[in-house]
Amino acid sequence: MSSPTVASPHLANPRMARFDPLERILYFDDFDEGTHGWTAHIGNYEGSLDTLLAPYSDLRPAQLSNLTMWDVGSMGAMDGTYALKLATRPTPGHMAILIKRQTWRELADVRFEAYLAYKPEPRELVLGELDVRAFGVGFDLQDDTTRWMPQYRFLNAEDGKPAAGDATDQASRTTPRGKWQQRDETSVFHTIGGSGSTVSHWHLPDEGWHDVLGGTQVMCYNEIPTKVNWFYLRVDLDLRNRRVSRLQCNDLVLGRDPLEYIAFPAMPNLRGMLNAFVWVQTDTAKRALLYVDSVVMSTGAAS
């Protein structure tokens, strides 16, 4: 009797089987092994760090975490011991951004997949389901003529109210609904320093976001502040045609209607850029936390 065959080789690997990658793996980052080049996002400067734009001056770096909680001890990551933990300051509206800088080897289809979890810092004996304002995923890409930046965020709460519901409505209070949003315009560019060769802009202002059609979603948010549930996130990019064909969070799949992105003329020194970044933002005077268990970036087979 012949042995059964595995349709895709990655399915035979327990660490990879939870992903659906394209043919070639660009990177597989399991944070049990370290930070894998993911680093704090920092703005451009010239001559002095004082030339950083104000929103970049207080972004927090990530750290490896075994998810230690006061009541259960260390629960560990979704798979293994460590996740990469991103934390804001306890200031309403503050953000923390994590980025990996990569380049493409050819213009092809690219797929980003990750397992994530978000929570406010569990410093109170309350659920805190509306303490995190948003988390998001984005990309900074450039070809020969265009720099383009797909940016998508899950808006969970605004000013203590569910993002996609009325806080006075009983259904919204018991099952808060958030919504996916996108941007198609960047913020203003500023000249940095005196040479004329450096510019900067703030990637993620609160303004300019609008709803993705069909993007309302109820996320799993367990019954006490220290329970963490992991979720799956995927974005499919077509680098040849500058198209975002899919945004997926668990069972919600968006992209049947065109997903938008920011675009402007190519900039010096950035050809080939394939940067991916994630972020989290707090809505209250409490730290918002984003945990990243693992990430896969894959592409179609080389031509």
On whether the 39-220+231-299 domain is CATH 3.30.1490, my answer is: no
Q: What is the pLDDT of residue 170?
A: 55
Q: Are 205 and 187 in contact (CB under 8 A)?
A: yes
Query: Whose CA is closest to 172, among 224, 223, 216?
Result: 216
> In this structure, which amino acid lies at residue 212?
V
Phi-psi region for residue 128, left (φ > 0), alpha (ψ -120 to 50) or beta? left
- Between CA 86 and CA 97 the distance in angstroms is 7
Q: Are 131 and 280 in contact (CB under 8 A)?
A: no
Phi/psi of residue 32, each to 5°? -65, -25
Q: Are 28 and 34 in contact (CB under 8 A)?
A: no
> Where do we find the tokens 């327990």?
14
Q: What is the pLDDT of residue 191?
A: 77
Query: Whose CA is closest to 282, among 150, 127, 159, 151?
Result: 159
Q: What is the pLDDT of residue 223?
A: 84
Phi/psi of residue 194, each to 5°? -110, 0
Percent helix, strand, coil in the chain, to 5, is 5, 40, 50
H/E stretch holding 171 reads helix 170-174
- Between CA 77 and CA 261 the distance in angstroms is 32
- pLDDT by 10s per residue, the chain, length 303: 444 444 577 777 888 899 999 999 999 999 999 999 999 888 777 777 777 777 777 878 899 999 999 888 999 999 999 999 999 999 999 999 999 999 999 999 999 999 999 999 998 888 899 999 999 999 999 999 999 999 999 999 999 899 986 555 555 555 668 999 999 988 777 777 777 677 877 788 888 999 999 999 999 988 888 999 999 999 999 999 999 999 999 999 999 888 999 999 999 889 999 999 999 999 999 999 999 999 999 999 755
Q: What is the pLDDT of residue 8?
A: 72
- Between CA 98 and CA 86 the distance in angstroms is 7
Q: Are 232 and 20 in contact (CB under 8 A)?
A: no
Q: What is the pLDDT of residue 174?
A: 59
- Between CA 118 and CA 129 the distance in angstroms is 10
